[in-house]
Structure 1
Amino acid sequence: MLQKTNRQTLVEQVALQMESLIESGKWGVGMRIPAEPELMNELNVSRNTLREAIRALIHAGLLKTKQGDGTYVCSSSALGVVLKKRISRTDTLQTLEVRYALEREGAHLAAQRRTDDEARELLLQLERCEAAAELGNIDDFVTADIRLHQSIVKASHNEILIEIYNHIAEALQDSITSLTSFEVDTDFLEMHRQLVEAIVGQDADRAVEAVHRYIQESKDVIAVEEGERS
């Protein structure tokens, strides 16, 4: 049986206002939020109400408190927190399947919609990937690889796809790191170069095929590792 809904409490209203500041980017990830007296004055609420709202956002994974230092933004949205937790409990193969779905469509749309500035940005991010691989710096390589794919998805100009992909990008870092093997990076990087060149050349079919190839290679790596463990 349906029940009457309750009006939002003052704590919930304050929490929603603070969450909107986070989601809008006014309070960016890594930023320390204003001190209690300032927030109490701006929101016209008591210290207890403010602290309850902050506790709710900490529980949601949007904020974290550093003892003696203040409260910081640690995620750009509640959706991002949920996705990150879900991916952390998912095996690498399933994560790859999700990546394939998102990156394939992102590449397809980017090839059709990218601007000249976005094409130049993709080439720049690709160069950073290649430079990190040449130096054998796996951390820099993974960071550059994620930024490259974020740039590709951004060039799709599909706001929902961009938001979803950006939310899971941080969670993808562990899976990408576990799959990275510098012994096969020549082929891996060549596939990414073909992907970027296809998008720059606005060849959607080639872009999709490049995504298929590097995801399939990652699946092959998983199959080999599982075979060695069995």
Structure 2
Amino acid sequence: MDPVVRESLADQAANRLWARIKSGEWPVGTKLPGETTLAPQLGVGRSTMREATRQLAGRGILVARQGSGVFVHSVDEAGAEWDLVLKRADIDAVLEARLAVEGEAAELAATRRTPADIKAIQSALRLRAKRRSEISELVDADIAFHRSIVSASHNEVLQGLFDTMTPRLRSAMAEMLNMAKDFGDDHDHAIHAHVVEAICARDADRARSLTRAHLRDLMGAMRSST
């Protein structure tokens, strides 16, 4: 039986905002209202609104212009064929993509992170620690944690790739956790904590190697279970 994947609040907000864009409320080239205006309209918090905006930017619908705001770039998703590839990708392919994106992001985050980035990463890690007993909650918390590290890389291309991958990543993670006998144990959480320690210590090599080793371990576990 296929796992039931709960649509996150950010996904829901992104889809509602996209529907309003497609309706013509904001034509291509138009600047969107600020997140403090949009968030209450969509019934979500500012952080969720921010994530929804990032998702739509990753899908080619919005574009952020530094110092100017967020603008409508297209009514249709960019790279529809690429999106189909992602949807068809199996778990192994998703993990391989994560190796490339998250390994590099962790290395860059260790050298570029700001005090605000560290605060956001540590907050995401604490939230992840609290949401390890239920699959859908762990999936959302884990994605938010890894997104905080990608954000700390301050590389817009890596951020866009991660956001584009997020829907398929969420589905793949749910599939993996449903296949696993155990999930969210203390050892798993400790691995994530060690990555945070490396980023805080500006140890770029260790942050990258720990991230890649963790993902390779997941790949090995999945291959041995099939």
Q: Shared fold (TM-score greater than 0.5)?
A: yes
Shift of 1:80: 6.7
Which portions of structure 1, spanning 4 or more consecutive aligned residues, are displaced by more than 3 angstroms?
Answer: 34-40, 79-84
CA distance in 1, matches of 2:113, 2:85: 31
Shift of 1:79: 3.4
Shift of 1:34: 7.1
SS of aligned partner of 1:78: coil
Aligned pair in 2 of structure 1 residues 143, 76: CA closer, same or farther (>3 Å)?
farther
CA distance in 2, matches of 1:34, 1:109: 34
TM-score normalised to structure 2 length: 0.65
Shift of 1:186: 2.2
1:28–1:76 Cα contact (<8 Å) kept:
no
- Matching residue of 2:112: 113
1:115–1:155 Cα contact (<8 Å) kept:
yes
Shift of 1:105: 0.4
- Matching residue of 1:179: 176
CA distance in 2, matches of 1:172, 1:198: 24
Shift of 1:153: 0.7
Shift of 1:82: 4.3
Shift of 1:163: 1.1
- Asked whether 1:30 is paired with 2:16, we answer yes
Deviations 1:168-217 (A, max 9, x none): 11221011112234725322211111111111221111101211221122
- Matching residue of 2:156: 159
Question: Quick one: which of 133, 144, 149 aligns to 2:146?
Answer: 149
- Matching residue of 2:211: 211
TM-score normalised to structure 1 length: 0.64
Aligned pair in 2 of structure 1 residues 111, 139: CA closer, same or farther (>3 Å)?
same
CA distance in 1, matches of 2:26, 2:75: 19
The gaps in structure 2 that reach 5 residues or longer are 1-12, 31-58, 62-73
- Matching residue of 1:97: 96
The alignment yields a C-alpha RMSD, in angstroms, of: 3.2
CA distance in 2, matches of 1:129, 1:104: 19
- Matching residue of 2:39: none
SS of aligned partner of 1:211: helix
The percentage of counterpart residues that share the same residue type is 28
Q: Which moved more, 1:195-204 or 1:76-85?
A: 76-85
Aligned pair in 2 of structure 1 residues 37, 208: CA closer, same or farther (>3 Å)?
closer
Task: Give 1:194's aligned amino acid.
Answer: H
The gaps in structure 1 that reach 5 residues or longer are 1-26, 44-59, 63-74
Task: Give 2:123's aligned amino acid.
Answer: L
Count matched residues: 169
Whose radius of gyration is greater, 1 or 2? 1
1:83–1:168 Cα contact (<8 Å) kept:
no
- Matching residue of 1:198: 198
CA distance in 2, matches of 1:34, 1:208: 38
- Asked whether 1:84 is paired with 2:83, we answer yes
